[in-house]
Amino acid sequence: MTAAAIQAKLDKLGLRTAADLLLHLPLRYQDETRLHPIAHAPLGQAVLIEGEITGANVQYRPRRTLVCQVEDGSGAMTLRFLNFYPSQIKQLAPGKRVRVFGEMRHGFLGMEMVHPQYRMVGAEEPVAEALTPVYPTTAGLSQAALRKLVLAALASCDLADTLPDDVLRPLGLPGFAESLVYLHQPPPDAPLDLLAERTHPAWRRLKFDELLAQQLSMHQHYRRRRAQSAAAMPARHSLTRNLLESLPFPLTRAQERVVKELAADLARPHPMQRLLQGDVGSGKTVVAALAALQAIENGFQAAIMAPTEILAEQHFLKLSAWLAPLGLSVIWLAASLPKKEKQAALEAVAAGAAQLAVGTHALFQEQVEFKNLGLAVVDEQHRFGVHQRLALRQKGADTGQEPHQLMMSATPIPRTLSMSYYADLDVSVIDELPPGRTPVVTKLVGDSRRDEVVARVRDACLKGRQAYWVCPLIEETLSPTLPQGGRGQSSPSPSGTGSKGARLEKLQLQTAMETFETLSATFPELQVGLVHGRLHARDKAATMAAFKAGGIHLLVATTVIEVGVDVPNASLMVIEHAERFGLSQLHQLRGRVGRGAAQSACILLYQTPLSETARSRLKIIYENSDGFEIARQDLLLRGPGELLGARQSGVPLLRIADIEQDQDLLAAARIAAERLIAERPDVAEGHLRRWLGRADELLKV
């Protein structure tokens, strides 16, 4: 293979330099440091055997198999190769000496190995002096080639330590060079359990280094932002006081605390970048409204962006009801707006006549120009790509001053995830629900009891309550599922891109239509409504308004109602095929009920058999109502990549450290990063150079 071909393979693994190879660490190890006599080789373990081939032939029953007999003086064994090339038949010929590595087991004719690794050897060839590393690789790049490249990198790269002893000693961490050499070439007596669990001191050293590099880069990003200029917008307590006096409810203590934190940020002359976390129904919208009013009081515009039209329109209606009586202009901007209305909205934003713009991703399109954007609010921020969030922030940067930015999430972020991936943000948490919210009873019901669920829906609606019936996510391989049943396990969201996403969306729409028709026939005495993503914005708004006004008793919906829908009289939710939904979606959907004084319930209707993952998710959502605990367990189930939506959001993932397993190292890395930046910036720069040479994505956009 040419050097260019090898580099192309390495590129697929993200390995572009010798330093990258140093940090390409083994998945596991093989013990090829000692030969076992065939007669005494332990069963059920991978062992190294050497012997002479005494027979080799191709057998055709029950399937084509290359079978070789090997003897070593202590005994004999059989090698079986189910997939093989003609060249192997010639290579494994009688009289040749072979060294094989594989799991020894009992076969029909005695001891045997199936598909072992092997190589031809000469007499008296020494065994390996270290455990053999097995690396992550790609098709066409052999383990032997990778090992050779890694050894060359170890010999040629500078392995001098970037960290002083006073950082490492309190943590009991070994040196960098010592750790790298140990992990790439562990001695024969290395503890395989500690290496496999990645708890060996050598593993902990490299985990700490990676976490420290991440924390340093986050701190650098934070300091750079603090050095940028933004308009100082002190609290003037005119519009904000008027809004608070007009609200039919008082703020909770948690809301008051967060409002003060935001007010202090907005008063500073550098851009706020704060993440506001609050569980479903905790009252984030009114906090965002008060922040927007502080910007407006100072003569600036504010924008609130949401990922779906339903959520954005809910914000628009609520904010208009609060702010229009204060004499403010709130405009709505979405892709579905008629051309004339959209043009009028764009002109109002550009002229500054609209003090608050509410909308979807349409807000950061090129044709949208703000006169003086002072605050950008991004709701459900994890659903937007990092470049989309940046595009909205840059709408106000023409004057040389960036707008302040508030990111909100009703999907709580576990503390460890926040410490690691949001360390460059200021974080506020609304950790209490407003009074009057009733706990939601969660019930797991198998599809065989569907009739009971139908009866409960009818009973609730006839008693004056309202209900949701949420249609399932659809797998591409499944035919549309009628409410009477179906099958399938966990599936991705249908909101993908391209033809596959369109097919999935079409299947879900068809399912929603069929569910609506079936339930309409089942409940002739009730008014049944339907809302889904393909519905025209005006029809969607009319249906939601009718549901909120009580004209619709039962709302059949896809997951477009996941966030932002607030109907206090809705006290019952049925989620069809709950086993297909993720924990975050189940928690968000459940949060649509329990918003009034009536006892509310969420029925998770599931199909059997359940996969282990689906069973775990349903158990977690059944046993927990706290969003932060659900998010923590979701992190354990899925890992940070899926939880953060890393492919879409641009969030960098750790390759070596595990933020749950290595919480102590993460906490130590945060402290060390602050200290090094303050006292030893040269050390911090040197450490970042080593790690950013491998992964410059550690610096977030």
Q: Output the domain CATH number for residue 512.
A: 3.40.50.300
User: Could you tell me which of 280, 419, 396 has the C-alpha nearest to residue 349?
Assistant: 396
Torsion angle defined by CA atoms of residues 236, 398, 394 and 689, in that order, rounded to the nearest 10 degrees: -110
Q: What is the pLDDT of residue 199?
A: 95
Does the residue 54 lie in any domain?
yes
Q: How far is CA 654 from CA 214, 275, 499, 620, 641, in A?
A: 8, 21, 32, 26, 9
CB 26 within 8 A of CB 192: no
Same domain, 470 and 348: no
Q: What is the pLDDT of residues 494-527, one digit of tens each?
A: 333 445 445 545 555 667 888 899 999 999 999 9
Same domain, 165 and 72: no
Same domain, 467 and 529: yes
Which residues does 666 contact at the CB level (< 8 Å), separation at least 6?
211, 416, 419, 420, 657, 659
Same domain, 416 and 269: yes
- β-pair partners for 189: none
Q: Which tokens go with 554?
A: 């039962």
What is d(CA 158, CA 17) in angstroms, rounded to the nearest whole number? 13
Torsion angle defined by CA atoms of residues 503, 509, 515 and 521, in that order, rounded to the nearest 10 degrees: -130
What is d(CA 608, CA 125) in angstroms, rounded to the nearest whole number? 57
CB 350 within 8 A of CB 369: yes
Same domain, 258 and 338: yes
**Residue 193 burial (CB < 10 Å; 0-12/13-18/19+)?**
exposed
Q: What is the pLDDT of residue 366?
A: 73
- Single-letter residue type at 32: E
Same domain, 174 and 104: no
CB 592 within 8 A of CB 565: yes
Domain boundary among 430, 462, 492: 430
H or E segment and range at residue 618: helix 612-623
What is d(CA 331, CA 233) in angstroms, rounded to the nearest whole number? 22
Does the residue 688 lie in any domain?
no
Q: What is the pLDDT of residue 335?
A: 81
Q: What is the pLDDT of residue 232?
A: 95
Q: Are strands 600-606 and 570-576 parallel, antiparallel or unpaired?
A: parallel
Same domain, 459 and 349: no
Q: Which tokens go with 517?
A: 């028709």
Q: What is the pLDDT of residues 334-374, one digit of tens each?
A: 888 888 999 999 999 999 999 999 998 888 777 888 999 99
What is d(CA 701, CA 284) in angstroms, rounded to the nearest whole number? 25
| In 495-543, beta strands by DSSP E | 528-531
What is d(CA 519, CA 482) in angstroms, rounded to the nearest whole number? 10
**Owner of token pair 């089942």:** 522
Q: Which tokens go with 597?
A: 């004084």
User: Could you tell me which of 142, 377, 349, 365 has the C-alpha nearest to residue 276?
Assistant: 377
Same domain, 423 and 461: no
Q: What is the pLDDT of residues 54-91, one digit of tens each?
A: 999 999 988 899 999 999 999 999 999 998 989 999 99
Q: What is the pLDDT of residue 476?
A: 34
What is d(CA 243, CA 532) in angstroms, rounded to the nearest whole number? 33
Q: Which tokens go with 529?
A: 């409504």
φ, ψ of residue 332 to 5 degrees: the values are -115, 130
- β-pair partners for 113: 79
What is the number of structural domains in the chain? 4
Instruction: Print the domain residue range for 190.
Output: 3-28+137-197
Same domain, 256 and 330: yes
Residue stretches of the chain with pLDDT short of 50: 385-386, 475-498, 500-501, 504, 646-651, 694-701
Q: What is the pLDDT of residue 364?
A: 75
Residues found in the chain: 701
Q: Which tokens go with 256?
A: 């008051």
Q: What is the pLDDT of residue 309?
A: 79
Does the residue 435 lie in any domain?
no
User: Could you tell me which of 594, 516, 513 has the C-alpha nearest to residue 555?
Assistant: 516
**Owner of token pair 């750079």:** 224
**Owner of token pair 């576990």:** 414
What predicted TM-score, i.e. pTM, was given to this entire model?
0.72
Q: What is the pLDDT of residue 396?
A: 57
Domain boundary among 166, 197, 228: 197
Question: Domain holding 105: CATH number?
Answer: 2.40.50.140
Domain boundary among 624, 650, 674: 624
Q: What is the pLDDT of residue 265?
A: 96
Does the residue 634 lie in any domain?
no
What is d(CA 229, CA 259) in angstroms, rounded to the nearest whole number? 22
Does the residue 518 lie in any domain?
yes
Give the count of beta carbons closer than 10 Å to the beta carbon of residue 678.
Answer: 10
Does the residue 231 lie in any domain?
no
What is d(CA 675, CA 182) in angstroms, rounded to the nearest whole number? 29
- Single-letter residue type at 281: G
Residue 658, SS3? coil
Does the residue 223 lie in any domain?
no
Same domain, 295 and 383: yes
Give the count of beta carbons closer than 10 Å to the beta carbon of residue 689.
Answer: 12
Same domain, 101 and 149: no
Q: What is the pLDDT of residue 485?
A: 33
Q: What is the pLDDT of residue 290?
A: 97
Same domain, 425 and 300: yes
Does the residue 699 lie in any domain?
no
**Residue 204 burial (CB < 10 Å; 0-12/13-18/19+)?**
buried
H or E segment and range at residue 110: strand 110-114
